């Protein structure tokens, strides 16, 4: 089965849940258990390392993993991906008494490239260099090790000392408030290191970077003009415009084991979009011979309830203090969701605004506000996408009065 792909700069990306079993420690008699898998390639798209799991459970089809390859539509002077030139052995299970043979290897990246994870082989020989890709250095970012290891094993270190080998997942560091054109995303890989020899622990771990440019479109459209024959109704919207859309693998929003996303992994992407329109807050028609005064109370910004609904249903954070981001991956999308001249999110601040005004005799007055809609959808094709969550709000107190003589 082939999964839909998407291009991020020089990289082509998808997710897969097709995992080939490599090794587990069954029969070794130790207190903790682990199994290791290699994501199956899709064409020339490969994983960035092997996958570790803290049990002997078969996880094929139960977890999504990133696959990357070169974007065939770009021609960079240095390819986005290259194979490792070889491997350095990190660990093997000789003498463990387990049912299976296994070893762990650190890829040796070509000059100008970095590896993002260790590779497991179900024997004591080095794995094929065709198993994984290394990424060009501008397409990776230093990452972090997960706080707790998913597996550890005791063995003999060089010199005959008893040593513990730690197996730890590599995760992306949180992105700062302003976000970036380069979005880091965990590849699902791991690194192994010896507890009493920190050389391997101190090696910098990396995660891939996905290039997502700022294509934010300002809303410069003036409010509609009104005539006696075109007086609108409250709640109507005019001149709707999509301002931005960001498409990312679903693992940016949900855990890699999210059941519904795995069921629909043929198209493994989720988009967040923002659109804006002029919204009719109210219409006042004065057929009398004298003016009258009115006032309109408007609720602006995103409410706590709306914010919680997006957080729980889609894993998207929206607030005046944090802007827009993905909770699961700690990614901020503020770079993509603002114009290049602004980084303010005060329009999301929940507040109540009162507009007081006079409606002249024989006159119609219409109050327009800027209405923002943020939508999270599953799927890379907008017209076929499944809406996962949506919030609508009056952006701020930037309102416009329009009207006409009757």
Q: What is the pLDDT of residues 351-378, one digit of tens each?
A: 898 999 999 999 999 999 999 999 999 9
Gap between the Cα atoms of 208 and 353, Å rounded: 44
pLDDT at 123: 95
- Does residue 232 fall inside a structural domain? no
Q: What is the pLDDT of residues 303-331, one digit of tens each?
A: 889 989 999 989 999 988 888 999 999 99
Residues 52 and 112 in one domain: yes
pLDDT at 1: 72
Q: What is the pLDDT of residues 75-89, one digit of tens each?
A: 999 999 999 999 999
Q: What share of the chain in percent tops pLDDT 90?
A: 73
Residues 166 and 262 in one domain: no
- Does residue 222 fall inside a structural domain? no
Residue 98, Cβ density class (10 Å: 0-12 exposed, 13-18 middle, ≥19 buried): middle
- Does residue 220 fall inside a structural domain? no
List the structure tokens of 119.
Answer: 């590779």
- Does residue 401 fall inside a structural domain? yes
Residues 193 and 256 in one domain: no
Average pLDDT for 270-290: 96
Gap between the Cα atoms of 86 and 219, Å rounded: 53
> Final residue of a domain: which of 211, 226, 249?
211
Mean pLDDT of the chain: 91
DSSP assigned state of 219: -
Residues 205 and 305 in one domain: no
pLDDT at 342: 59
For residue 215, pLDDT over 60 is answered with: yes
- Does residue 310 fall inside a structural domain? yes
Q: What pTM was computed for the model? A: 0.92
What's the chain's Rg over C-alpha atoms? 27
Gap between the Cα atoms of 211 and 188, Å rounded: 19
Residues 87 and 153 in one domain: yes
Gap between the Cα atoms of 93 and 219, Å rounded: 61
Residues 202 and 297 in one domain: no
Residues 52 and 159 in one domain: yes
Contact between 360 and 286 (Cβ < 8 Å): yes
Interacting residues of 300 by C-beta distance below 8 A, sequence separation 6+? 347, 349, 350, 351, 352, 353, 369, 393, 394, 395, 396, 397
Interacting residues of 168 by C-beta distance below 8 A, sequence separation 6+? 145, 146, 148, 149, 150, 190, 191, 192, 193
pLDDT at 69: 98
Residues 207 and 241 in one domain: no
Average pLDDT for 152-177: 75
Average pLDDT for 99-117: 96
pLDDT at 158: 47
Among 94, 54, 122, residue whose Cα is nearest residue 105: 122
Neighbouring C-beta atoms of residue 242, cutoff 10 Å? 13
> Which has the higher per-residue pLDDT, 20 or 204?
20
Range of the domain at 257: 237-405
- Does residue 254 fall inside a structural domain? yes
- Does residue 67 fall inside a structural domain? yes
Gap between the Cα atoms of 253 and 260, Å rounded: 12
pLDDT at 188: 96
Residues 302 and 336 in one domain: yes
Residues 150 and 250 in one domain: no
Gap between the Cα atoms of 118 and 21, Å rounded: 15
Q: Which residue in the block uniquely carries the two structure tokens 């996905």?
A: 210
DSSP codes joined into one string, 331-399: EE-TTTTS-TT----GGGS-EEEEEEEEE-TTEEEEEEEEEEEEEEEESSSGGGPEEEEEEEEEEEEEE
- Does residue 110 fall inside a structural domain? yes
Q: What is the pLDDT of residues 220-272, one digit of tens each?
A: 889 999 999 999 999 999 999 999 999 999 999 999 999 999 999 999 999 99
| Total of domains in the chain | 2
Residues 197 and 261 in one domain: no
Distances (CA, A) of 220 to 95, 239, 243: 71, 11, 11
Residues 388 and 247 in one domain: yes
């Amino acid at each position: 089965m082939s999964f839909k792909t998407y291009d991020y700069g020089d990289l082509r990306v998808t997710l897969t849940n097709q995992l080939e079993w490599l090794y587990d420690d069954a029969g070794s008699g130790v207190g903790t258990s682990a199994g290791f898998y290699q994501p199956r390639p899709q064409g020339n798209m490969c994983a960035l390392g092997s996958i570790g799991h803290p049990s002997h459970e078969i996880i094929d089809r139960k977890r999504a993993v990133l696959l990357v390859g070169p974007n065939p539509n770009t021609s960079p002077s240095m390819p986005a991906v290259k194979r490792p030139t070889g491997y350095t052995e990190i660990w093997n299970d000789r003498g463990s008494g387990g049912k299976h043979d296994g070893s762990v290897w650190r890829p040796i990246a070509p000059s100008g490239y970095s590896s993002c994870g260790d590779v497991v082989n179900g024997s004591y020989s080095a794995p094929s260099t065709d198993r994984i890709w290394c990424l060009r250095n501008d397409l990776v970012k230093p990452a972090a090790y997960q706080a707790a290891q998913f597996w550890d094993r005791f063995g003999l270190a060089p010199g005959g000392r008893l040593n513990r080998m730690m197996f730890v997942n590599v995760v992306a560091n949180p992105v700062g408030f302003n976000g970036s054109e380069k979005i880091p995303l965990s590849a699902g890989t791991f690194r192994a290191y010896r507890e009493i020899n920190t050389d391997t622990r101190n090696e910098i771990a990396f995660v891939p970077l996905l290039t997502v440019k700022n294509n934010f479109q300002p809303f410069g459209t003036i409010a509609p003009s009104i005539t006696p024959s075109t007086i609108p109704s409250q709640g109507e919207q005019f001149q709707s415009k999509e301002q931005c859309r960001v498409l990312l693998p679903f693992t940016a929003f949900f855990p890699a084991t999210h059941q519904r996303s795995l069921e629909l992994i043929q198209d493994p992407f989720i988009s967040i979009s923002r659109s804006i329109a002029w919204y009719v807050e109210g219409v006042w028609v004065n057929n009398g011979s004298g003016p009258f005064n009115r006032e309109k109370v408007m609720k602006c910004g995103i409410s706590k309830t709306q914010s919680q609904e997006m957080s729980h249903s889609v894993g998207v954070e929206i607030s005046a203090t944090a802007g827009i981001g993905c909770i699961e991956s700690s990614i901020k999308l503020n770079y993509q969701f603002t114009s290049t001249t602004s980084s303010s999110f005060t329009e999301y601040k929940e507040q109540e605004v009162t507009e007081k005004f006079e409606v002249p005799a024989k006159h119609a007055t219409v109050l327009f506000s800027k209405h923002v809609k943020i939508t999270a959808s599953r799927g890379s094709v907008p017209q076929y996408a499944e809406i996962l969550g949506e919030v609508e709000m009056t952006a701020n107190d930037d309102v416009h009065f329009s009207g006409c003589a009757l």
